[in-house]
Amino acid sequence: MSVLTDLIYGGSNAVAGLTEGAVKDAIAEFGADKAAIFPDTAYFCPTIYAATGVKVKTLGDLPACVDVLKSLITNQEDLGQALNAGLATAVGAEILELLKYVKNPAPYENEAGIGFVSDAIIRSLGVPLVTGDIPGVAVVLGKADNAEDLVSIVKEYQDKGLLTFLIGDVIDQAAAGGVKMGLDFRVIPLGHDVTAVIHVVTVAIRAALIFGNVQPGDLAGLLKYTKERVPAFVNTFGAIDSVVVSAGAGAIALGFPVIVDIDLGENQVPGALVSVTDHAHTVAESLNLRNIKVKAKAVSLPVSFAAAFEGEIIRKKDTYAEFWSEKNTTCELVSTKKKDEVEDHKITIDGPDIPENSDGITYMALATVIDVYGERMQADFESVIERKIHAWLNYIEGVMHTGQRNLFRIRISRDSFERGLRLKHFGEVLYSMIMDEFASVVDKCQVTLVTDPVKAKKVLDEEAMPRYNARDARLESLTDESVDQFYTCILCQSFAPSHCCVVTPERLGLCGAVSWLDAKATYELSPNGPSQPISKTGCIDERLGAYESVNEIVKDATHGALERVTLYSIMEDPMTSCGCFECICGIFPEANGLVIVNREYTGMTPTGMTFGELASMTGGGVQTPGFMGHGRHFISSKKFAAAEGGIERIVWMPKELKDSVAARLNKTAKELFGTDNFTDMICDETIATDSEGVLAFLTEKNHPALGMEPIM
Ligand code: SF4
Ligand code: ZN
């Protein structure tokens, strides 16, 4: 037997033995009926569930899984068989990690790792992965002989926007080397035991179930999905033992190449198991093996500039300068100008710059005025560009941006200021990103940063406010009736191959990130891209929002997977879901209404299901009448479930969601049926989550849904 298969089987057999013993011990200690589940998932033990369809719920379900695991280890001299043994190791690791959760509901509490990754986090990764904002996933494990090399590799992945998972001592080495870690920084420590690697494996596996409509038990479909659609690879650091090698074989079975930093000589497997002993080449080789393309940086700064820094929080004590609308005038405005009014790449600071050597926080005014000219520029794109300022400034290491328009707050950290970050860099970033992302509509661009408080106020009053007001009026007037085109969005097809969103003025994409204006701009920017126009012709049923043109284009866009879709019904041919929806609504027949739950809410709903459980019933581009994913904003739309009676059907929402949509929802309710404070009639978890409690509340409030036609 070759050294390699020998090692794989050695590791798999060791893990199998360990798992079998641990399961026996756990059953002896807690009994077979003891619950055995991972937190915040609707997919049980995801690896076992996806590969075999078995739903592990108690310790008593595990011995049968151990038998399956053992059957995968044939000890035959054949690489394919050996890779199956690698999958056995994955199953073993999953069970061993599960047992940690059986013994302690929060086993990672005192660990420098997060352990099991919730379904909600995976759903939130959908959009950045499909847009290429996260171009790939790196799994880094082991202990580096040279910690400095490791740190620079992880920082490079971070800089390139990859999502990096750390397992083992590399966690402490990266932390000691100053790597900023956490989900927000796209560097996620999982745990120190090598078995913790399963927590990234199940992310890939659940992606197949959530987005790919892969059916539990379809192992071949699962492996095809992860190989073709999950751009992940593994880097190991330091010496590797048989367990790591067999886990690596599991990764290879899933289609993820493994790059080790020791010399494996003739035991390398081209394209799958590769030695790169010079760390200077690790990143390039890894990206190359998985064919991951990273967009070239448009701008160079004294600090990092990467999407990985988007969620970075700058605390008050670390702040050097702050531009905040509560203290000073602030605004951000993109405006279309005539050709000779714009001097390309002119960056001006009008007023004082951030002072050098100051002790406390310096508070300043800031009016950011971006003038653009382009032959194909349209006023409708101004707000699309303007909304991106938030993301772009956040990409700068040590800069935090929240809010938009005239209400925002920007903090610059002392550390980044000391490393040389200045206001002029804001101008460079904005200029470069606009010219990069909006190249097909913007020909010339200039940026003026007004810090003089008097001048900033003048910009706000005379230019920005009138423009915002005009845009709001335009948005108000944008209804599905007032336009003659809708748009498709098929961005999520890279994960959910048969999904297509239809985006209308009153119904944004279910991810919440694509409005009708965005889709229109996307089409204008790349006419052969993910958004295509649908002319509003061939109305079949106005109430349902059924159109021949919509059906035709959706059928085409989904390669025939979907023949009919309505815009306004959740019962008849509802829109499909990819999996990355912000909210899901589902019918609650007892109250003749609809329950809506957002991704962030982890508690129970009156349907007897959590968000994750509701969400697992739809996704992968499949129609599921009675359940539908949608964006937060859609809740206050006049078109929300319009075919079923509209927002009057909403009977329950988590409190946070209810509060956040209240102002807009109440306005819509007032306009549609004259009720004031409609949200006061909607139940939430602080009132009741059981159906009797909810019904009692609705009856007391005389909720309109109770008197409507039966919903089903
Ligand atoms: Fe995906 Fe739909 Fe959002 Fe497009 S609009 S990114 S297809 S969820
Ligand atoms: Zn999606």
Atom of ligand 1 at shortest distance to CA of 130?
A: 6
For residue 81, pLDDT over 70 is answered with yes
Q: Which ligand is nearest to the CA of 122?
A: 2
Closest residue by Cα to atom 5, ligand 1, is: 509
Is the CB of residue 698 less than 8 Å from the CB of residue 706? yes
Q: Which residue has the tokens 């870690």?
A: 181
Q: What are phi and psi of 350, to 5 degrees?
A: -105, 95
For residue 618, pLDDT over 90 is answered with no
Atom of ligand 1 at shortest distance to CA of 490?
A: 7
Confidence of residue 310 (pLDDT cuts 50, 70, 90): confident
Q: How far is the CA of 619 from the centre of ligand 1 (A)?
A: 12
For residue 297, pLDDT over 80 is answered with no
For residue 311, pLDDT over 90 is answered with no
Atom of ligand 1 at shortest distance to CA of 512?
A: 3
- How does 36-73 read in b/e, with b if 16+ C-beta sit within 10 Å? bbbeebbbbbbbbbbbbebebebbebbeebbeebbebb
Residues with Cβ within 8 Å of residue 394, at least 6 apart in sequence? 309, 310, 311, 312, 400, 401
- How does 597-612 read in b/e, with b if 16+ C-beta sit within 10 Å? bbbebeeebbbebbbb
Tell me if residue 540 falls in helix, strand or coil: strand
Q: How far is the CA of 520 from the centre of ligand 1 (A)?
A: 13
Is the CB of residue 618 less than 8 Å from the CB of residue 629? yes
Render 347-402 in DSSP notation, one character per residue: EEEES--PPSS-SSPEEE-EEEEEEEE-TT--THHHHHHHHHHHHHHHHBTTEEEE
Atom of ligand 1 at shortest distance to CA of 503?
A: 5
Q: How far is the CA of 577 from the centre of ligand 1 (A)?
A: 9
The reported pLDDT for the residue numbered 537 is: 96
> Which residue of 580, 582, 632 sits with most ligand 1 atoms within 8 Å of its CB, as the best mutation to test the pocket?
580
Atom of ligand 1 at shortest distance to CA of 580?
A: 8
Is the CB of residue 387 less than 8 Å from the CB of residue 521? no
Q: Which ligand is nearest to the CA of 491?
A: 1
- What are the strands, taking DSSP E only, across 589-685? 593-598, 627-630, 650-652
Ligand 1 binding site (Cβ under 6 Å of any ligand atom): 127, 489-492, 501, 503, 509-511, 513-514, 578, 580
pLDDT tens digits, one per residue of 194-252: 999 999 999 999 999 999 999 999 999 999 999 999 999 999 999 999 999 999 999 99
Sign of CA dihedral 51, 53, 57, 62: negative
Render 31-77 in DSSP notation, one character per residue: -TTSB---TT-SSSSHHHHHHH-----BGGGHHHHHHHHHHT----S
The reported pLDDT for the residue numbered 184 is: 87
The reported pLDDT for the residue numbered 296 is: 73
Mean predicted confidence (pLDDT) in 335-341? 96
Q: What are phi and psi of 151, to 5 degrees?
A: -60, -45
pLDDT tens digits, one per residue of 374-404: 999 999 899 889 989 998 999 999 999 998 8
Q: How far is the CA of 357 from the centre of ligand 2 (A)?
A: 47
Q: Which ligand is nearest to the CA of 132?
A: 1
- For residues 550 and 536, give the distance between their C-alpha atoms in angstroms, rounded to a whole number: 8
Is the CB of residue 178 less than 8 Å from the CB of residue 153? no
Q: What are phi and psi of 349, to 5 degrees?
A: -110, 115
The reported pLDDT for the residue numbered 1 is: 61
Confidence of residue 529 (pLDDT cuts 50, 70, 90): confident
> Which residue of 503, 554, 578 sits with most ligand 1 atoms within 8 Å of its CB, as the best mutation to test the pocket?
578
Q: How far is the CA of 513 from the centre of ligand 1 (A)?
A: 7
The reported pLDDT for the residue numbered 555 is: 97
pLDDT tens digits, one per residue of 141-188: 999 999 999 999 999 999 999 999 999 999 999 999 999 999 989 999
Confidence of residue 295 (pLDDT cuts 50, 70, 90): confident
What residues does the ion ligand 2 have nearby, CB within 5 Å?
Answer: 126, 492, 578, 580
Closest residue by Cα to atom 8, ligand 1, is: 511
Is the CB of residue 554 less than 8 Å from the CB of residue 648? no
Q: How far is the CA of 353 from the centre of ligand 2 (A)?
A: 42
- According to DSSP, the residues that pair with 413 across neighbouring strands are 319
The reported pLDDT for the residue numbered 285 is: 96
Q: How far is the CA of 127 from the centre of ligand 2 (A)?
A: 6
Q: How far is the CA of 511 from the centre of ligand 2 (A)?
A: 6
Q: How far is the CA of 126 from the centre of ligand 2 (A)?
A: 6
Closest residue by Cα to atom 1, ligand 1, is: 492
**pLDDT above 70: percentage of residues in the chain:** 100
Angstrom CA distances, 521 to 257, 365, 372, 474, stand at 37, 31, 15, 16
Atom of ligand 1 at shortest distance to CA of 578?
A: 8
Atom of ligand 1 at shortest distance to CA of 519?
A: 5
Q: How far is the CA of 117 from the centre of ligand 1 (A)?
A: 23
Q: How far is the CA of 677 from the centre of ligand 1 (A)?
A: 32
The per-residue pLDDT of the chain, averaged, comes to 94
Confidence of residue 494 (pLDDT cuts 50, 70, 90): confident
> Which residue of 510, 534, 584 sits with most ligand 1 atoms within 8 Å of its CB, as the best mutation to test the pocket?
510
The reported pLDDT for the residue numbered 129 is: 86
